[in-house]
């Protein structure tokens, strides 16, 4: 555009003109107020002179009335004198208030009122003598010329006061005239500037007419972009609502499955070995319950309510390890290729859940390729900028470690991609899948403060990228974890079970006794504290987290100082609670997720007791 180079200059001119107009308007306002103030001062001067004339006239009337009364003895003559006694203090107050800002006036008023007081005293003396029927004495006071001298002095002070006020009046009148001239000039200048600004705005509007057409096109593109973002937001809100629903369902099922799985396992252990039919029925029931438990775990993963234990992780090594397993499990017709990025950052992630996510993606890729094709697992450093974050509202800008799983399968159309992360959504045949694989990956990525993105084209293939947060901590030496002993500890430990659900509590007590532990039951935190105070043999407390009143974490916090050697193991079917915050398990906390088997219970107890058995000092969890 030809006028484009002039736009900045026009813009600065408009801004300068605007500020100049504002300055002139401000000057206009100031001049207006100054003119009003000057006029008020002029009016005040006029009022001061009028009040002084009234005061002097009142004093003269008092003297005239006094002389008439002295000569005639008629009481009607004395009325102006009595009126003056009332009015003179009021007039003094008015003059004091009107001239409060003028020190010369205040000094003149001080002198004036001393003389007026003396004059009124002289008049009062003569009036008193006449009222006492001593006219001769009253006339004698008059002949002293005291009254006449006082009036002459008062007249002189009043004249000085008036001259002072006249000087001030002349100055104020001149100031008022100046302010009016300034007001007139500011008004004319403001009108001229307003006209110039109006003309400039009209010219600028014409110059930008062409630009507006271009901006309309840009606006249409932005509207299309906003619709896309709103679609993503609605999708994210729908996923959040589904997550809350599925999380609540999984929580309730976990408590029920804990009872079912535990009692079925106990039943199988107690069935006679020769009763094969009952063994088969019970085993099938336990298998179904275990599959239901796996389903609830996937639901918790989708709803971002699974407890994660993130650590600095070498993603390249993780991909290499999982690729070895996939080559054995996906079949010979699936060619697996790994492309590991050089200088790859460490990721702050739960490695076990990352391996599970990659495995889910690999299984989905195998199904999309009908068991034949190429599967590529790639890693790289990635930086998601602000523009990407604005286009994908669920991610924050920053540095990430990217894991991409690409297949050469059938691909997905747009409508399928929009629903791919929804739980139970699947394009597979009935019985071929639950529709929770990608949901679990999505929940894991979000809970890990990462992001997952699908790129797919029908007939070409699909790429799913997982962005994991970069670990920024300093590398530390890897700690070699001690092997948990397989055998039971030689010492017979006593376990306090704190669980408000009767059925779950009975199962845990039976399981502990089956494992060779002494078990004591408590239905709530108060009972648990009483038992701990009474039973000194308790070395382990296995407590539910979510309980009415005081929860398990609060119970532990209240007793840890009194029982520093007590080993605590938490159990729960719901992870958004007192021991899991922001999806991450609190440091130093041992958690047994419901439903669990006797093997799970035994393994966690052995792990908790192993440091104590080996006499390694450690802080209670």
CA 498, CA 504: separation in Å to the nearest integer?
Answer: 10
pTM above 0.85, yes or no: no
Indicate the pLDDT class of residue 467, thresholds 50, 70 and 90. Answer: very high
CA 531, CA 537: separation in Å to the nearest integer?
Answer: 10
Residues 436-453 have pLDDT tens digits of 557 778 877 887 888 888
| CATH code linked to domain 494-613 | 3.40.50.2300
Judge whether residue 318 has pLDDT over 80: yes
Enumerate residues 6+ apart whose C-beta is below 8 A from 176: 35, 38, 39, 41, 42
Distances (CA, A) of 319 to 311, 314, 376, 476: 16, 9, 11, 21
Judge whether residue 234 has pLDDT over 80: no
Give percent above pLDDT 90 in the chain: 3
Sorted by where each begins, the domain ranges of the chain are 4-205, 234-306, 311-469, 494-613
Mean of all residue pLDDT scores within the chain: 76
CA 371, CA 11: separation in Å to the nearest integer?
Answer: 66
Residue, of 588 and 202, whose pLDDT is higher: 202
CATH topology of domain 311-469: Heat Shock Protein 90 (3.30.565)
CA 113, CA 90: separation in Å to the nearest integer?
Answer: 12
């Amino acid at each position: 555009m030809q006028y484009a180079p002039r736009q900045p200059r026009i813009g600065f001119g408009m801004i300068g003109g605007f500020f100049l107009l504002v300055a002139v308007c401000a000057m206009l306002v100031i001049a207006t107020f100054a003119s009003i103030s000057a006029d008020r001062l002029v009016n005040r001067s006029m009022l001061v002179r009028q009040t002084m004339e009234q005061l002097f006239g009142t004093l003269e009337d008092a003297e005239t009335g006094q002389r008439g009364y002295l000569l005639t003895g008629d009481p009607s003559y004395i009325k102006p004198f009595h009126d003056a006694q009332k009015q003179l203090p009021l007039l003094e107050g008015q003059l004091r208030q009107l001239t409060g800002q003028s020190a010369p006036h205040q000094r003149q008023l001080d002198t004036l009122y001393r003389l007026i007081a003396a004059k009124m005293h002289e008049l009062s003396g003569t009036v008193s003598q006449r009222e006492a029927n001593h006219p001769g004495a009253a006339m004698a006071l008059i002949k002293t010329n005291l009254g006449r001298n006082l009036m002459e002095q008062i007249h002189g002070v009043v004249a000085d006061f008036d001259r002072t006020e006249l000087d001030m009046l002349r100055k104020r009148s001149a100031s008022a005239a100046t302010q009016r001239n300034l007001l007139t000039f500011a008004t004319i200048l403001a009108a001229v500037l307003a006209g110039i600004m109006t003309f400039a705005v009209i010219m600028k509007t014409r110059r930008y007419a062409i630009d507006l057409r271009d901006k309309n096109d840009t606006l249409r593109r932005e509207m299309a972009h906003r619709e896309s973002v709103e679609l993503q937001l609605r999708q994210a809100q729908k996923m959040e609502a589904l997550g809350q629903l599925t999380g609540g369902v999984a929580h309730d099922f976990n408590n029920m499955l804990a009872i079912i799985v535990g009692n079925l396992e106990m039943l199988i252990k107690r069935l006679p070995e020769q009763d094969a039919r009952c063994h088969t029925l019970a085993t099938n029931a336990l298998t179904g319950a275990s599959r239901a438990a796996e389903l609830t775990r996937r639901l918790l993963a989708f709803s971002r309510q699974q407890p994660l234990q993130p650590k600095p992780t070498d993603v390249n090594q993780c991909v290499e390890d999982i690729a070895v397993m996939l080559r054995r499990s996906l079949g010979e017709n699936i060619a697996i290729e790994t492309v590991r990025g050089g200088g790859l950052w460490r990721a702050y992630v739960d490695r076990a859940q990352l391996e599970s996510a990659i495995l889910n993606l690999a299984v989905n890729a195998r199904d999309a390729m009908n068991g034949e094709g190429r599967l590529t697992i790639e890693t790289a450093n990635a930086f998601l900028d602000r523009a990407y974050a604005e286009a994908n509202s669920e991610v924050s800008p920053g540095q990430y470690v990217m894991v991409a799983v690409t297949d050469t399968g059938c691909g997905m159309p747009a409508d399928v991609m929009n629903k791919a992360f929804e739980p139970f959504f699947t394009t597979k045949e009935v019985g071929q899948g639950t529709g929770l694989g990608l949901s679990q990956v999505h929940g894991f990525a979000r809970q890990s403060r990462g992001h997952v993105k699908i790129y797919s084209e029908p007939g070409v293939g699909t790429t799913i990228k997982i962005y994991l947060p970069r670990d920024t901590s300093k590398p530390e030496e890897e700690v070699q974890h001690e092997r948990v002993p397989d055998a039971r500890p030689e010492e017979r430990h006593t376990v306090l079970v704190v669980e408000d659900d009767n059925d779950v509590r009975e199962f845990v007590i039976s399981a502990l006794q089956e494992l060779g532990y002494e078990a004591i039951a408590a239905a709530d935190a108060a009972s648990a504290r009483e038992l701990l105070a009474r039973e000194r043999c308790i070395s382990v407390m296995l407590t539910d987290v979510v309980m009415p009143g005081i929860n398990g974490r609060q119970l532990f916090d209240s007793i840890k100082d009194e029982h520093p050697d007590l080993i605590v193991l938490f159990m729960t079917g719901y992870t958004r609670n007192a021991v899991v915050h922001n999806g991450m398990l609190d440091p130093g906390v041992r958690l047994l997720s419901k439903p669990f088997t006797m093997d799970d219970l035994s393994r966690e107890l052995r792990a908790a007791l192993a440091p104590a058995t080996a006499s390694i000092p450690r802080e209670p969890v």
